[in-house]
Structure 1
Amino acid sequence: MEKQDLLYVVLAVGIVVIMALVVKPMVTGEPVNLFGTPEPEPTTAPTPVWTPAATVVPTTRAPTPTPTWNGVAKELGFVDPSTYQIDLTRETPGITAPPSGSMPNVTWVTYTTITGQWSGTTGIFHIPTPYWRLDYTRIVPMNEEFPRFNLQVMDADDPNRFVKVITLNRPDFIGYNTTNSTAYRQSQWNTKFYEGNRNYYFVINTLGITSYDLQVQVPESYV
């Protein structure tokens, strides 16, 4: 066989190989593998395993016990005004609206007393009834020239709420006498609060006052 014939044979074999490795896969859509390496086996995605969610058991908080009262009046002391961390210089009057209808006749009993002479901030006290009264008839001025008494009733559960502001100035003390100091005040110097079952404290400012004796009163029917 001549050299030229041998070259034709080699060329023909090469064409056949190329047709088998390239052209046929392209026509059939199979991947082209020129080097004859084995194709990797197809992988299957792992089947996800479902894990049930943990069951949450709700917890219950024990209710806060309601303070009880044994019917004996207790004296309320004073604390540092910074305890409540609010601006005590504001005198914003609060609103204690009366309930619908008229209040029945009530016999009042003293629940807490506050006695002193100077300005101060009381501790927190709890009112165990749906309404209460503050009696401030026992305020003694030094004279009738410059007496001033200011009391702010604060809601201890809401430090930004002024329940009521009570202010007594010189005209309120005209007519005071030492022999019958509370006679002309009985119908005037007490305030009813048509709310209760809450915590309160007082902010007191005095000028020219010898002494004061405040009485927080509650209805006898609730004792």
Structure 2
Amino acid sequence: MWRKGVWRATATPRLQMSCYSFILNIVLLLCLAFSFYFTSCKHYKCRPSSITTNGNKHFHTTKEFYEVDENVNLLNYQDKKSYSKNSVYQKKIFKQISLKQKIYPDLNECQTRPLRPLYYQRGQYWVLENYIPADRSFLCNQSITYTTHGDYTFLGNLELLISRWQGPVSMALYAPDADFEYTLDILVYLRNCRSQDIKTYVTFHIFFDVLHTPKIMEKCRE
């Protein structure tokens, strides 16, 4: 009996300790389960059924809230994408502008001259500037003018040149004596019977030596 009493006296605290440890384990498991539930739950079904945003907009279901949230995220992504494209485009434009400023620092300081006829003497030559002007005019900073010179024998390549250049062309022709009238006949033929680009883009200037003034010019002077 003594042994049984001793055993009973010692068994009671052991049972109490085991019960306490069992209860503590259950409490810890419940705490872990709740913490895992609230930290890892990302689907809209795990959210409360009614949500109020910072903008005081009330959604009756969590599905509505997340549909709006996804749309906002998509718009934000598209805005960022478009902003990145615009920023890249702006950088390219800035590089082009800076390169243009380096090559032509005084581009915006130029003055556009009208294509009106001017007749003057320079040294031993008479110059008939803009004698036959082009139908289309450009600003001084809008395009680059292709300049060349020669006489009526060089006009055979003009149509091919203007078809490739497609911009303003300034051509000075030496036409002394009888070559003056012959040059004018060729120019009229090229402008009216050949490519329309010649009439649109090419401005013709004529110059000749004072000692070889065309007869038609002498008659005009008289």
Scaled by the length of structure 1, what TM-score is found?
0.28
Please identify which structure carries the higher helix content: 2
Please identify which structure carries the higher strand content: 1
Scaled by the length of structure 2, what TM-score is found?
0.28
